[in-house]
Structure 1
Amino acid sequence: MAKRHYKFVVILGLLLVIFIAFGIYKLYSNEQEQKNAKDPEVVLEKQNNFIKEHHYLSEGKSNEIHVVAFTDYRCPHCADYHKNTKSKMLQKYIDNGTIKYTELQYPVIDKASKKYEIMSLVLQKHGTIEDFKTFSDKSYQSSSVDNDPVKTLKRVDLNDKEEKNMIDIYKNNPPKSNKSQIKNELKVTSTPTIFVNGKYIKDTNVLEDAIKQEIDN
């Protein structure tokens, strides 16, 4: 009887040790995952891989500083960002080769937002960076009026063959939305969301300072 009791206590003790060890391991693993999720180098690597995998176009040629923005053409705050920050401040850094800039659509406003995302994916895969830039400009200006990316596409200076090809792809063989993957893999939940070399920028007012810090590093 005493031996059975002793074995029971030993087994119980071993199980308790295993349970505690497993708990410590899980706690450490979760802390490490959270740390990695916020590590700018890890974030940037994930973003770069995602951009390459899904054929997003980038402006600028710099490999040292990469600004990645997640926007929605139908988001008023994104339209303000495009007009007052991207066009007025970021563009000079793009044009002089200081930064590379990639903008990904993350539809959040309404169903039309997703339609505009799909058309942007078509343009990036079958058009040029200049076509995409023009479409983006027109979308921020008129998407709330057009409510249809086909109408907005027709405002882009494409030849008839290019325009017809893109509209046919959009209507008959559209790419899938990347919204769920962006949310799950890149942890984006709202727009505009902006990163500089994997570092999350909470306020566009400090975006230029963040770029200058990367230049000085």
Structure 2
Amino acid sequence: MSLSARIQLAQKRGLTLKHAQVLAKLDTPRKIQDFLARFPQNFEPQGDTARSVQGAMDAHCAHCIEGAMIAAFTLWLNGHPPLLIDLCAHRDMDHVIAPFQVNGYWGAISKTNYVCLRWRDPIYRSVRELVMSYFHEYAKGPRKTLRSYSRPFNLQRLSPKQWVNHSGNCWEVAELITATRHYPILTKAQTKNLRPRDPVEVASDKITSFPIPAWKRQRL
């Protein structure tokens, strides 16, 4: 599909011309990830948000689910289904990724401010294998916190008005992903015997793409 055709498709699916022109240029998963890595982090100074694709682009910042929806939308422009996967954590924040397949292998696009939970190359044979690649990095302090993951949620189930150009927060999308069937990844015995991360691993949490404001650090 040509660039002009992708721009027209993005507009048809709800984006303004300005943002359609930006996202339509991202014609590979890698380019989408590179765009999100440069895209400013949404630290939510006015409280929790779940902005639509249009809303996040207007605000020129995004956090995990907002970035995942941008990625899913842009993948959709390139012929991939717009999928999201919820990574569910214990006593930690959940994370949402945008999975995709290349030649039958799974990869993922991810928006995060930290070293962990980032891009995954399309080398994984199953969704579970993809998710498990995040296990040792998904942590809070010394604790490894990832406990379950959702089946891929296809955003084509929804109207674009619910997630592409919604003028408010897309809480319904977040609720639907949370309600999607989740699969546990650990037994109770395995959970009990997890080795805590060592000091070097914990120290890596201080590396961020964008500086965390002081007010935000106090809430973490």
Q: TM-score range by the shorter chain?
A: under 0.3
Q: Which has the higher contact order (CA 8 A, sep 6+)?
A: 1
Structure showing the higher helix proportion among its residues? 1
TM-score (norm 2): 0.24
- Higher share in strand: 2
**Larger Cα-atom Rg:** 1
Give the TM-score normalised by structure 1.
0.24
